[in-house]
Amino acid sequence: MLHVQQTADACVKCNICNTVCPVSAVTDLFPGPKYEGPQGQRFRAGLDGGSSPDRSLDWCSGCGLCTQACPEGVMVAEINSVARAELVRSRGGLRLRDRLVSRPELVGALGRPVAPLVNAALASPLARRLLERALGVHRQAAMPRFAARSFRAWARRHAPPAGATRTVAYFHGCATQEYEPHVGRALVRVLERNGVAVTHPPQGCCGLPLISNGDYPAAGRSAARLVARLSPAAGEPGVIVANSTSCGMTLKAKYRELLGMEDGRTAAVSRAVHDICEYLAELDVEGALDRSFHPLPARALYHPQCQLMAHGVGMPALDLLALVPELEVELSTVGCCGMAGTYGTKVEKYQVAMDVGAGLWRQARDLRPDFIVCDSETCRWHIAKATGLPVYHPVQVLDRAYRFRPPGRP
Amino acid sequence: MRADVVVVGAGPAGLATAVALAEAGREVRVIARGNGFTHWAPGAVDVLARAGGRPVDHPSDGLPLLPARHPYRLVGEPLLRRALDRFQLLTAAAGLTYEGSLDANRRQVTALGTLRPTCLLPAPAARPLDGRVAVVGLDGFRDFAPELCARGLRAAGHDASARSVAPPPWGHARHFHAVDVARAVDDPGWRARLADRLGPATRGAGVAVVPAVLGLAGGHQAWADLERRVGVPLVEAALAPPSVPGMRLYQVWLARLRQLGGRLQLGFPVTGVEVADGRVTTVVSEGASRPVATRCAEVVLATGGVAGRGIRAGRDGTLVEEVAGLHVEGFGDRMGFFAEGFLDDHPLGAAGVAVDDQLRPLDAGGAPAPGGLRAVGGLLAAHDPTAEGSREGVALATAARVAELLAPDPSPTKG
């Protein structure tokens, strides 16, 4: 396989990547993926990135739409990511804000014992202004709330039903653990409904926020630790499902492409990882998915997250939602909502993130859906904040359609 | 994953096929390595500009000059006509007006001031170059040099002169490309301010040639509005990629496909097909960490020729069809790939997969490939889309043929 940087040689300068870039479409601060990626690469020495001639690459949100659109196989977004890591290294590392936002596990460990306090503070405009001033986290940026009880605390006491015919390991990631245990519970219920037992291997942060922010050495440490912990599950049961699409994508491809982890153990974990909707859609292809959903008379807007498309499996959630009677699903026409993990939380980038998502906010206003569906957690928070609508993970919708009959129906 | 029909490739042939099949009631998934010729080509519909080594003014007259196995000969002129009609209806319904017919080629102005022959022209490129021609560029826009365009037009006998206007104030302090301008033109306020500047720059001219950047999101509406405001016919000149007129077309196809429930999956090339009992059952594409299998009833290859990467040319002179390893009609010798001059017609451009009249690929001995497999567009043998100027015509005609073949008797969708 070609090294990420070598793919720059395949660029034919056609500009297709520039036409899909959601960031350069809304701000002049980012000149576009072609210039930063394959063009800029010619001025960087060495395969490890080399010093970058242009610091504007920090405005790349890493959505990856450029890589998907390129007809020549240039890994445009990945070239930018490697170059950013070199930029960060040459600056002597991340600034304090970026060191914090890129460590969800640390934030979780610090915040969990004082969760009510943190939740109250994040809900206070004054505290948010102070946070913005002190750290550079935008006062309006969507922030999750700590859940009363973590996912693993629930999972430890959860008694799985008998009669499972297969087993998967669940990589829930940081967001489900601390902020959205209800998504994890829905995922477990949907799997168990289909005769799939769920194990909960020890895990931790995948390192994606560190990769996105440009701290590859720290990301590599997170990655190595996670691979060691998930490695047994890659052997038995052999399937690891993940509901965080970006973390799943990181495990599948970015350890190899960006962090250079080409060992067999990493490869085995990468191959074992399935996005939860990908796994459920595969069950359905086998005829093994329980299709007995109750009607869900509602209109939904589905936004396929940019990095979901980097799995290369299409939009499995759309296939699954189509099985729910009376659920009307409209497809988002926007390639990226703008959030890009931690990008949209930063004071200097928040407005870019809002402008990138503007088409989606408009579509939501015009369509007036009952709710929005999106596979990725940080996108859900951003979209909910911007539209004022509830935003669910697809498994939450499936879980509901399995469990609840609409009122007044037989 | 599962689909009824998988179309491989998202260029004009793939998208036209996907839309035609979706309109015929099939459930379609397009899987492609990335965007394709829609974004590269100038957004016109080339049907036939050269045949038998000579320029063709009337495509319908040129058809009999083509070899017997040429895609047009395989599908027949009546279907080609219907395909063009349907294309004009489809695009018109989405706000893109295409002018022309199979009976006469028209001329598309390029950024070089050359006049390329094509069959159907988007309305913004279709105004006649009558009287004095003002060629108007935008200061700082690197993809359109009005002096160069005007010089070319003068060489072609037109009374053309170059002007340039500064773009109205906007958010681009450094460089910008065609799509940046097109998005700005979509904004009515910015468009009105641009019209204020184009007015004086086109005074006294019978027609104005401008770069093809007059709006992206709203079909031809921004161009029509600007023309009305400026008061002089506006002609969009084709630019180097990215092609705004081509992207308008791409958007129309994509929107129609999605409206009919079809899907588009970009970024991961199809690497193979699986066959059981002489029939294709599954398309295998690259995934983030392992191959992705999509079960399907039918597969249509719309991957293009060598330039579209549907065919890989090896250093040893071998030519291999990328997806199913189909036999490619080639030249046996790498030295036979190319002609002398860079802009000559290179034999490699005509390399392709031979098919029967049902567009089923044939092996070296003339036996058909596994059932359920068909090929369309630039991948086909016995034609050279570039040298003939036939790219979109072959795409539309073969797409229509596939839709005709697969529509009447849909196979069960369950894999």
**pLDDT tens across B225-241, in order?**
999 999 999 999 999 99
Q: How far apart are CA B205 and CA B45, in angstroms?
A: 28
| Mutation choice for B interface testing from A1, A13, A19 by most B CBs within 10 A | A19
CB contacts < 8 A (A, B): 108
Rounded average pLDDT over B372-393 = 96
Enumerate the residues of chain A whose CB falls inside 8 A of the CB of residue B309: 71-72
Of B40, B266, B294, the CB nearest to A68: B266
Distances (CA, A) of A237 to A156, A201, B25, B158, B355: 19, 11, 40, 74, 46
**Tokens 């031979």 label which residue?**
B354
Domains and CATH numbers, chain A: 2-90 (1.10.1060.10), 288-403 (3.40.50)
Instruction: Enumerate the H helices of B161-264 as residue ranges.
Output: 178-186, 188-201, 221-230, 244-259
Q: What pLDDT shows up at residue B408?
A: 60
User: What are the pLDDT digits (tens) for B176-203?
Assistant: 999 999 999 999 999 999 999 999 999 9
Q: Does B5-98+248-406 carry CATH code 2.40.50.100?
A: no
Type of residue at B318: T
The strand pairing partners of A240, in sequence order, are A169, A273
Q: How far apart are CA B185 and CA B12, in angstroms?
A: 25
pLDDT beyond 60 at B414: no
pLDDT beyond 70 at B406: yes
Chain A's closest residue to B242, CA to CA, is A15
Enumerate the residues of chain B whose CB falls inside 8 A of the CB of residue A69: 34-35, 266-267
Distances (CA, A) of A273 to A230, A241, A269: 10, 6, 6
Whole-prediction pTM: 0.96
As given in the structure block, the two tokens for residue B30 are: 């397009």
User: What are the pLDDT digits (tens) for B299-345?
Assistant: 999 999 998 899 998 888 889 999 999 999 877 677 788 888 988 88
Q: What pLDDT shows up at residue B410?
A: 46
- The parts of chain A modelled with pLDDT lower than 70 are 1-2, 45-53
pLDDT beyond 80 at B61: yes
Q: DSSP letters along B311-356, please?
A: EEEPTTS-EEETTT----B--SSGGGG--SSTTS--GGGG-BB-B-
User: What are the pLDDT digits (tens) for B110-130?
Assistant: 999 999 999 999 999 999 999
Q: What is the mean pLDDT of chain B?
A: 94
* Contact criterion met (CB < 8 Å) for B174 and A15: no
* Number of other residues whose CB lies within 10 A of the CB of residue B201: 19
CA angle A366, A372, A373 (to 5 degrees): 140
Rounded average pLDDT over B4-19 = 98
* Contact criterion met (CB < 8 Å) for B242 and A310: no
The answer to whether the CB of B218 falls within 8 A of the CB of B226 is no
Q: What pLDDT shows up at residue A90?
A: 86
Enumerate the residues of chain A whose CB falls inside 8 A of the CB of residue B174: 28, 31
Rounded average pLDDT over B170-177 = 86
Q: How far apart are CA B375 and CA B305, in angstroms?
A: 11
Sequence length of chain B is 415
Q: How far is A118 from chain B (nearest CA, A)?
A: 37
Identify which of A34, A51, A61 has the alpha carbon closest to the alpha carbon of residue A353. A61
CA angle A226, A229, A231 (to 5 degrees): 100
Q: How far apart are CA A216 and CA A207, in angstroms?
A: 9
**Tokens 């701290």 label which residue?**
A215
The secondary structure element, H or E, covering residue B122 is strand B121-122
Q: What pLDDT shows up at residue A87?
A: 87
* Contact criterion met (CB < 8 Å) for A314 and B33: no
Enumerate the residues of chain B whose CB falls inside 8 A of the CB of residue A18: 177, 179, 242
| Mutation choice for A interface testing from B1, B7, B239, B295 by most A CBs within 10 A | B1
Identify which of A59, A58, A76 has the alpha carbon closest to the alpha carbon of residue A67. A76
Identify which of B235, B226, B234, B312 has the alpha carbon closest to the alpha carbon of residue B269. B312
Q: What pLDDT shows up at residue A48?
A: 54
Q: What pLDDT shows up at residue A51?
A: 65
Q: What pLDDT shows up at residue A290?
A: 98
The answer to whether the CB of B137 falls within 8 A of the CB of B146 is yes
pLDDT beyond 50 at B405: yes
* Contact criterion met (CB < 8 Å) for A273 and B289: yes
Chain B's closest residue to A252, CA to CA, is B289
User: What are the pLDDT digits (tens) for A226-264?
Assistant: 999 999 999 999 999 999 999 999 999 999 999 999 999
Chain B's closest residue to A359, CA to CA, is B217
Q: What radius of gyration do chain A's Cα atoms show?
A: 21
Q: What pLDDT shows up at residue B415?
A: 36
Q: What pLDDT shows up at residue A53?
A: 59
